Structure 1
Amino acid sequence: MTLTPLLEALERLDEAHIQMLDLAVTKKQAIKENKVEELIKILNKESKLSKLIEQLEEERAQAAYIFLQGVGIRSNLNLNLNELSRLVFDLKDKQKLLDIQKRLSGTLQELKEANMLNQQLLQQALSYIEFSIESMSYYSETEATYHHPAGKTVGVQRSGLFDSRA
């Protein structure tokens, strides 16, 4: 009934999420500076790290299952760390488990906030691009083609972005 494999899995999960948080900070800077190539590299790193986190999550679940079997629970319960800590009777192990839970929870909260900020930045960038495209495509197709000056009528209004007479 050792808790060590579970604690180690949780530690590795926290480290992986800290790496993901570092990438989120780097991504924010790349978005602000409009560095598309760097953003693509960051997304590739995030993808690889996500796969690692999935593997670590499986290890954590397996370690929790083994721990539950060690304390006499034979079913495959999916307990959260608070519920699991109630089954730990060694005070040192219980404190270690609660400490890593607190750290992991804090890291996940920071990561969630960073991802929300990056999502907002990307949404603003896309809105700006959409606005720019709409403002540039404001002219009708007839205004964009050449017409002989003799064929124009005198009272034509301009709807351009700039008034060259000013």
Structure 2
Amino acid sequence: MAFHDLCEALETLLVQHEQLLTFAQQKKEALISNDVSLLTEMVNKESRLVKLILETEARRQKAVAAFLVEKGLGQLPDIKVTDLTRMITNAEEKLKLSDLAERLIQAVERLKALNNINVRLTQQSIEFNDFSLSLLTGIYDDQDFVYKKPSDLSQGQLNLKFFDSKA
């Protein structure tokens, strides 16, 4: 029974991580197309799903503990799926557990890669916005880079900027 609960928890985790992959892909598209409303929606959905994943992970941990009790072992810290497969005598169950674990690992790796892309896209967007804002406020004004004699500068020289950075 504990093995069935463990597999069920792993299958649920796999489905949830695949849903996270879908959300991460949609976030990538939202970042590229600068769709803030879609990005906000995806972040909200993602945070709700992460809460569900935490609950499923707690179920998985309970199933592992129950599985270990069935095998006559106590709590083993840092037990891995490979350790669990060694305890299983049924070849079909061994294959099912290792297959689920491998698919979950692959989903997590794809999710990490996609999240790294999204982080870079977000950083580039922030840098672009910062640069654009700097252009509008006149930080990169040509007059700042050319030396002029102080006597040549008029007191009433008009500095045309879109935004006054001193305000």
Normalised by the length of structure 1, the TM-score is: 0.82
Q: Distance in 2 between matches of 1:58 and 1:83?
A: 19
Q: Deviations over 1:81-105 (max 9, x none)?
A: 1121111111110000000011001
- The answer to whether structure 1 residue 66 and structure 2 residue 96 are counterparts is no
Q: What are the ranges of 5 or more consecutive residues in structure 1 without an aligned counterpart?
A: 144-151, 161-166
Contact residue 65 and residue 77 of structure 1 kept, 8 A: no
Q: Report percent identity of matched pairs.
A: 32
Specify the SS of the correspondent of 2:72.
coil
Q: Distance in 1 between matches of 2:102 and 2:139?
A: 57
**1:119 match:** 119
Contact residue 2 and residue 64 of structure 2 kept, 8 A: no
**Aligned positions of 1:1-166 closer than 5 A:** 2-138=2-138, 153=154
Normalised by the length of structure 2, the TM-score is: 0.82
Q: What are the ranges of 5 or more consecutive residues in structure 2 without an aligned counterpart?
A: 144-152, 162-167
Specify the SS of the correspondent of 1:3.
helix
Deviates more, 1:128-137 or 1:10-19: 128-137
Moved over 2 A (4+): 75-78, 156-160
- Residue 139 of structure 1: CA displacement? 5.6
- Residue 134 of structure 1: CA displacement? 1.2
Contact residue 30 and residue 36 of structure 1 kept, 8 A: yes
Q: Distance in 1 between matches of 2:64 and 2:128?
A: 48
- Residue 78 of structure 1: CA displacement? 3.3
- Residue 73 of structure 1: CA displacement? 0.4
Q: How many residue pairs were aligned?
A: 148
Higher relative contact order (CA 8 A, sep 6+): 1
Q: Distance in 2 between matches of 1:52 and 1:112?
A: 19
